[in-house]
Chains A and B, each alone.
Chain A
Amino acid sequence: MGIRERLLRERKAIQALQDGYVIKVKDLTKKFGDFTAVDHISFEVKKGEIFGFLGANGAGKTTAIRMLCGLHRPTSGSGMVAGFDIATQQEDIKRHIGYMSQKFALYNDLKVWENIRLFAGIYGMSDSAIAKKTDQMLDRLGFMAEKNTMVGELPLGWKQKLAFSVAIFHEPEIVFLDEPTGGVDPLTRRQFWELIYEAVSRGITVFVTTHYMDEAEYCNRVSMMVDGRIEMLDTPKNLRTHFGVETMEEVFTLVAQRATRSDD
């Protein structure tokens, strides 16, 4: 990529940020050999929004998130996250986002405070800032008594709340949550979403994938991916009206039926 083209792309990214978008992608595509995991997706996410990213298994959600986070290089298309170009400035993006996935939350063989210290240390926070903020955070969560507990000994719901708090510890502009509430009871999921709202009130944009349709209702806008493409993108209310159904569950079922490729 030439320097001129590169500068143009980066200017476009900054422009998008000034327009109030923290994520803006156009025709983003990822191919693995002959398989097109993500097929020309385009969307924008506004600052302070909770953006739901729905889709059946194998629809391409994780690949899309990985491109946004700078873990996958897009095959074609362009995009910007937090004012940086996803094709060229992935290291800058990493500094301005938080990430949490269901697959991995925290290190089980590290204590609660050691996990916080590790991840905060990766972002280059100073020891004193980390120590002060750790106590504040644990106090707010009511986890102070568990500061020295191994994370492996905590119940799953606690782990997820803690992982989320660690993901936003360095005050990112956007936090990406890849199925953050898998496998926990509705009450715990409810508490988890309270934490999300609290983060949003602090100006953090939330990009979340989920399997739970009740959680889709909590989002400002949801997109539905089918076979690597975005089939629907609107507010939960508009989607329900559009399909003439009562719940997001039904919306999802109707949209997901359009899939022609099987789970991977």
Chain B
Amino acid sequence: MKQFFAFVEKEFYHIFRDKATMLIILLMPVVQVLIFGFAITTDIQNTEVAVVDLSNTPDSRGLIDKIDAGTYFHVTERLASSAQLEKLFKKGDIKIGLIIPPDFSDDMAAGQKTKVQLVTDASNPNEASIVNGYLQNIIGAYSLNRYPGDAPVVGTTVETRMLYSPQLKSAYTFVPGVIGLVLMLICTLMTSVSIVRERELGTMEALLVAPSKPIYIIFAKTVPYFAVSIFNLLVIILLSIFAFDVPIRGSFLMFFLASITYIFTSLCLGIFISTVSKTQQIAMIISLMGLMLPTVLLSGLMFPIESMPAVLQGLSYLLPARWFIEMGRIIMIKGLGFGYIWMQWTILMGMAILFLGLSVRGFKVRLT
């Protein structure tokens, strides 16, 4: 055991004395949370709307005011004809246009179903459908409030309720994703590179020619990254709570357990990558291209897994981050307990044991 602590001590020195790397490791989660939180947000805020009001009645003007009043939309243009809309779309000045027909007010007064037309810039389909949905809601609510007694007789009114994230705040969903990404980088990439580095430098040879237990050498390498990961985890959680008002609805302890399991899996994966990589470059390429990129794209961090083609959905099953992100959302945002995450948790543990087993088999005490 004394030997193990000697190795752990050495690893801490290596990491904490490498100031540049340390700085990156500690700042990365903060920067990522801020980027995801502010820049890549899918929240709707002050979206530009152009209005073609062919009705020009108190009813139609009331609707326009109502749209403009909220924080979601900003009516920037009032046009006389729908022909002018196209020009604005081309220039990119507006995201959505609303055309109110001449008989809008008459229909409304007559208690008939009113019709308006929405024209949306769908060059970014995701954004388009979100913007469209928001505006529809506002319009629907307006006509109901205006003539509450005369709710539309014909057709169906859809009442949508957004569960867990009533304001559709994307911050709620990105936080588990960012944690998944950052921890994967630190645990998997850093661990794999640091083991391969020793082999490349020849220092592994010096350690192996002494009566070192290889399992100690490897586990000692994971200890500092484990510590750094826990620290980063807490930073991300605090940042999400205080900067983005993300609640942890479920048990904090449960979330912590899920995170630690994920850290463990990532560390095991890092060790495994190091046993199959001959050089630091290869380890880095496997970690970044083979793992980071799929994690960003396929783990459900940015794009919903359900809308991916079957092949990519299948690939996403292989990513530890996918299962962690699911657990994170279930616990943090839905506030549910272990009964709802046991499957994801078991899959992560299974992955960890698999990687660990393969590594122990692959790690060579002797050089050949």
Interface membership of chain A positions 42-55, coded 1 if the CB is closer than 8 angstroms to chain B and 0 otherwise: 00000000000000
Pair B209/A122 contact, Cβ less than 8 Å: no
Pair A95/B211 contact, Cβ less than 8 Å: yes
Interface assignment of B210: CB less than 8 Å from any CB of chain A:
yes
A123 to B206 Cα, complex, angstroms: 13
Pair A114/B13 contact, Cβ less than 8 Å: yes
What are 8 contact pairs spanning A and B, CB under 8 A? A91-B211, A104-B201, A109-B13, A109-B17, A117-B6, A119-B210, A121-B2, A124-B3
Interface membership of chain B positions 265-288, coded 1 if the CB is closer than 8 angstroms to chain A and 0 otherwise: 000000000000000000000000
Pair A118/B18 contact, Cβ less than 8 Å: no
Chain B residues numbered 193-207 whose CB sits less than 8 Å from any CB in chain A: 201-203, 205-207
Pair A66/B367 contact, Cβ less than 8 Å: yes
> Across the interface, which residues of B come within 8 angstroms of A123, CB to CB?
210-211
Pair A110/B202 contact, Cβ less than 8 Å: no
Interface assignment of B30: CB less than 8 Å from any CB of chain A:
no
Interface assignment of B10: CB less than 8 Å from any CB of chain A:
yes
Chain B residues within 8 Å of chain A by Cβ, number: 25
Chain A residues numbered 81-131 whose CB sits less than 8 Å from any CB in chain B: 90-91, 94-95, 97, 99, 101, 103-104, 107, 109-110, 114, 117-119, 121-124
Pair B3/A121 contact, Cβ less than 8 Å: yes
A71 to B208 Cα, complex, angstroms: 7
Pair A118/B6 contact, Cβ less than 8 Å: yes
> Across the interface, which residues of B come within 8 angstroms of A101, CB to CB?
202, 205-206
Cβ of A228 to closest chain B Cβ, rounded Å: 16
Pair A122/B6 contact, Cβ less than 8 Å: yes
A121 to B3 Cα, complex, angstroms: 6
Pair A71/B366 contact, Cβ less than 8 Å: yes
Closest to A100 in B: B206
Interface membership of chain B positions 178-218, coded 1 if the CB is closer than 8 angstroms to chain A and 0 otherwise: 00000000000000000000000111011111111000000
> Assuming A71-B209, A107-B14, A122-B6, what are 13 further A-B pairs, CB within 8 angstroms?
A70-B366, A97-B209, A99-B210, A103-B205, A109-B13, A109-B17, A109-B18, A114-B9, A117-B6, A118-B10, A122-B7, A122-B207, A122-B212
Cβ of A69 to closest chain B Cβ, rounded Å: 5
Interface assignment of A32: CB less than 8 Å from any CB of chain B:
yes
Q: Could you say which of B17, B207, B366 has the most chain A C-beta atoms within 10 Å of its C-beta?
A: B366
The one of B7, B201, B366 that contacts A72, using a Cβ cutoff of 8 Å: B366
The one of A73, A104, A110, A118 that contacts B366, using a Cβ cutoff of 8 Å: A73
Pair B202/A104 contact, Cβ less than 8 Å: yes
> Across the interface, which residues of B come within 8 angstroms of A110, CB to CB?
10, 13-14
Interface assignment of B145: CB less than 8 Å from any CB of chain A:
no
Cβ of A170 to closest chain B Cβ, rounded Å: 9
Pair A122/B211 contact, Cβ less than 8 Å: yes
Interface assignment of B167: CB less than 8 Å from any CB of chain A:
no
Pair B14/A109 contact, Cβ less than 8 Å: yes
Interface assignment of B117: CB less than 8 Å from any CB of chain A:
no
The one of A72, A103, A104, A109 that contacts B367, using a Cβ cutoff of 8 Å: A72
> Across the interface, which residues of A come within 8 angstroms of B367, CB to CB?
66, 71-72
With known contacts A103-B202, A104-B201, A109-B13, A70–B210 Cβ distance under 8 A: no
With known contacts A66-B367, A73-B368, A121-B3, A94–B10 Cβ distance under 8 A: no
Closest to A127 in B: B2
A117 to B367 Cα, complex, angstroms: 25
Q: Which 10 A-B pairs have the closest CB atoms?
A: A121-B6, A104-B202, A103-B202, A99-B209, A94-B211, A122-B210, A95-B211, A69-B209, A71-B367, A109-B17
